[in-house]
């Protein structure tokens, strides 16, 4: 099913604001279910990367060059996490007592969101993967912003810009001649980002290194649904 471009543009914005509204209204205390959703999203996104993006990005391009960009994406995400403290995969290690706008977190998340928007253009299964990944991350980010000492206007600005960056990446991939020309390389960069965040989500040790059957089942479910799309 081909969505109109406006719908593709709006869905990531709705996902982020819907998550923020959910946290604002419900004020969830138990993050266990959110972590399960995060595990599902990691498995789903990783599987879609293998099923959809990797076969496509290697077509008619030098494999070593593509591999370099994929590795560059992994390194880019490692670099961004020095500033985001792992917010892209559900970690928030910031001081809630400080009344300061978390600029480094803001910039790193915006760059991450922009990059992940590029491969959405022309590949709608990836849109599903990005949205399912973005919802739990946006919920955890919203919990942090609402519980912090940051003024509401700054929190709303943060959420607004974060919600726009993925659609902007998709728009640039569709409309910019430069981005369109180098689209396969930017997609390879995004693949590296996806590989890093999804594997971190999946292979982080469970609390106490205990076997978690529910987490295993949602991971299998995520891979299975991605295969069927």
Instruction: Answer yes or no: are the C-beta atoms of 177 and 19 closer than 8 Å.
Output: no
Instruction: Answer yes or no: are the C-beta atoms of 192 and 70 closer than 8 Å.
Output: yes
Residue whose entry in the numeric block shows the structure tokens 């789903």: 44
Q: In whole angstroms, what is the distance from residue 75 CA to residue 60 CA? A: 25
Q: In whole angstroms, what is the distance from residue 146 CA to residue 28 CA? A: 11
Instruction: Render pLDDT for 56-115 as a digit per residue (tens, 0 to 9).
Output: 888 877 889 999 999 999 999 999 888 777 676 666 555 555 567 778 888 888 998 999
Residue spans of the domains in the chain: they are 5-228
Instruction: Render pLDDT for 29-50 as a digit per residue (tens, 0 to 9).
Output: 766 678 888 889 889 999 999 9
Q: How confident is the model at residue 122 (pLDDT cuts 50, 70, 90)?
A: confident
pLDDT at 1 over 50: no
What 3-state DSSP class applies to 180?
helix
Q: How confident is the model at residue 162 (pLDDT cuts 50, 70, 90)?
A: very high
pTM of the model: 0.85
């Amino acid at each position: 099913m081909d969505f109109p471009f406006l719908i593709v543009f709006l869905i990531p914005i709705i996902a982020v604001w819907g998550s923020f509204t959910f946290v604002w209204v419900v004020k969830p205390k138990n993050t266990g279910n959110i972590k399960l959703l995060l595990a599902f999203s990691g498995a789903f996104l990783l599987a879609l990367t293998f099923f959809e993006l990797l076969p496509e990005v290697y077509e008619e391009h030098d494999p070593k060059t593509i591999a370099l960009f994929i590795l560059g994406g992994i390194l880019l995400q490692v670099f961004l996490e020095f500033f985001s403290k792992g917010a892209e995969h559900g970690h928030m290690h910031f001081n809630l007592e400080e009344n300061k706008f978390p600029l480094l977190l803001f910039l790193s998340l915006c760059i991450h969101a922009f990059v992940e928007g590029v491969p959405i253009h022309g590949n709608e299964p990836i849109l599903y993967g990005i949205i399912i990944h973005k919802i739990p991350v946006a919920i955890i980010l919203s919990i942090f912003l609402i519980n912090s000492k940051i003024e509401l206007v700054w929190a709303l600005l943060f959420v607004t810009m974060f919600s726009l960056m993925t659609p902007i990446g998709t728009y640039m991939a569709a409309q910019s001649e430069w981005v369109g020309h180098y689209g396969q390389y930017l997609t390879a960069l995004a693949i590296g980002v996806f590989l890093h965040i999804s594997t971190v989500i999946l292979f982080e040790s469970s609390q106490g290194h205990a076997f978690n059957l529910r987490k295993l089942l949602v991971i299998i479910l995520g891979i299975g649904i991605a295969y069927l799309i």
